[in-house]
Amino acid sequence: MGGTLITVAPTGAEADKAKVPELPVTLDELVETAVACERAGAAVIHVHIRGDDAKPTLDQGRLRDTVATLREATGLVVQLSSGGAVTDPESDRLAVLDAEPDMASCTMGTVNFGDDVFMNRWGFIVELHRRMQDRAVVPEYELFDLGHLPSLARLLDEHGLPFGGHVHVDFVLGVPGGAAGDAATVTAFAEGVRRYLPEGTTFSATGIGRTTLPVMFASLASGGHLRVGMEDTVQFARRTPVKDNAQLVKRAAEAAKLAQRPPMSTAEARKLLGIRDTGVA
Ligand code: KMH
Ligand code: ZN
């Protein structure tokens, strides 16, 4: 078995900078965190950006600057979130692809999201998938519930494989309203990948809040990859806030080494995921 792909999700759209001062929200903070996380073992960065008011935005100019600056400063695979915040309209979420990232997320169904609803209509999913095929952007399919597995099988069956031909999915577990963040659920998802998705499909998993550790260890035990970051948890341990994203990546890298599947380099990640050549090593 090969190495472990570590994705860092440093910001998200939900945490409040006023309550979590360590959250990277400016471009400078994001780049500083990206450099530190690459050094600690991350190969992919899942990016949500914030405006001057530290609130989530999908501003096109900022997205383009962010992609260019991260490419200049790091070798990380740049994955933009097309999920945005629950309030973002579909048109803005589709326009994320205009910023020409290496990858973008694509959530495979509507899910309750705490007190909100994270809306992902079938027609929207199809449009996002097809635009990514046209623009040579590699999707990371986000699965919040078991039903998202057969939905992805249907998408691939009706609309073809993603750009590059490789299918990579991420289990997002422990969202209130979605699948639970525990080892049994990771096992069920991993089994579902084998049952519904093309041979060679790879998966990572992330656990929200206190489910981070069980999901991390269960994913490694199931042959999966890891996503960590302050988008998903701002607590490092009980009563101990996360210091910074690199602290979470370091812990994931240590766990991966213990599992004898050390972190993949960015070059290995590009090859595995089938990222188009943008001149970045
Ligand atoms: N912020 C959530 C509503 C994604 O990035 O694609 C959606 C999310 C998923 O974070
Ligand atoms: Zn996200």
pLDDT digits (tens, 9 = 90+) for 2-24: 999 999 999 999 999 999 999 99
pLDDT for 245 equals 98
Q: Which atom of ligand 1 is nearest to the CA of 82?
A: 6
What is the assigned CATH class of domain 6-272?
alpha beta
Question: Ligand 1, residues 55, 96, 105: which to mutate, most atoms within 8 A of Cβ?
Answer: 105
**What is the Cα–Cα distance from 246 to 231, expressed in whole angstroms?**
13
pLDDT digits (tens, 9 = 90+) for 123-158: 999 999 999 999 999 999 999 999 999 999 999 999
pLDDT for 272 equals 98
| Ligand (nearest to CA of 113) | 1
Question: Ligand 1, residues 8, 44, 81: which to mutate, most atoms within 8 A of Cβ?
Answer: 81
Q: Which atom of ligand 1 is nearest to the CA of 231?
A: 10
Report which of 77, 43, 37 is spatially closest to residue 265, judged by C-alpha positions.
43
Q: What pTM was computed for the model?
A: 0.98
pLDDT digits (tens, 9 = 90+) for 167-186: 999 999 999 999 999 999 99
Q: What is the dihedral of CA 130, 159, 7, 224, to 10 degrees?
A: 180
pLDDT digits (tens, 9 = 90+) for 202-240: 999 999 999 999 999 999 999 999 999 999 999 999 999
Q: What is the DSSP string of 1-69?
A: ---B-EEE----SSS-TTT-TTS--SHHHHHHHHHHHHHHT--EEEE-EE-TTSSEE--HHHHHHHHHH
pLDDT for 281 equals 61
pLDDT for 279 equals 77
Q: Count how many Cα atoms sit within 13 Å of the Cα of residue 191 in the half-sphere of its side chain.
A: 7
What percent of the chain lies above the pLDDT cut of 70?
99
Domain spans in the chain, listed from the N-terminal domain onward? 6-272
Report which of 272, 278, 20, 48 is spatially closest to residue 165, judged by C-alpha positions.
272
Residue 251 has pLDDT above 90, yes or no: yes
* Dihedrals phi, psi of 138, to nearest 5 degrees: -85, 125
| Ligand (nearest to CA of 144) | 1
Average of per-residue pLDDT across 247-265: 98
pLDDT digits (tens, 9 = 90+) for 19-60: 999 999 999 999 999 999 999 999 999 999 999 999 999 999
Q: Which atom of ligand 1 is nearest to the CA of 86?
A: 3
Cβ of 206 closer than 6 Å to ligand 1, yes or no, is no
**What is the Cα–Cα distance from 38 to 74, expressed in whole angstroms?**
7
